[in-house]
Amino acid sequence: MPKTVITPPGTRTPIAPFSPGTLADGVVLETIKSVIETAGGTMHDVTMNHIFLKDWADYAAMNKVYAEFFPGDKPARFCIVCGLVRPDFLVEIASIAHIGVK
């Protein structure tokens, strides 16, 4: 299955070997809203989020911001505490969205 890398304008070069998002047969994997929008979708297309926190103390604050990006029906998700790719990161989120053919 061919894939297309989705890089929103203004995105910094990743510090590790990954892409901000990929489009593969109508399925987008992304970490930020602009990836989905660049691919032609909206946050309503997100079906699953994988949330990684540096510290459980940030869980309530993450949920508050999360609710702003996902009003109404929420996508499925899980959340764990772990070491993150950069020491200054507090949270990382990997998302799966399905963007239908229009």
CB 31 within 8 A of CB 20: yes
Residue 9, phi then psi, degrees to nearest 5: -55, 140
Among 63, 58, 89, 88, which residue's Cα sits nearest to residue 77? 63
Residue 82 known to be catalytic = no
- Active-site option among 32, 43, 48, 79: 79
Catalytic residues: 79
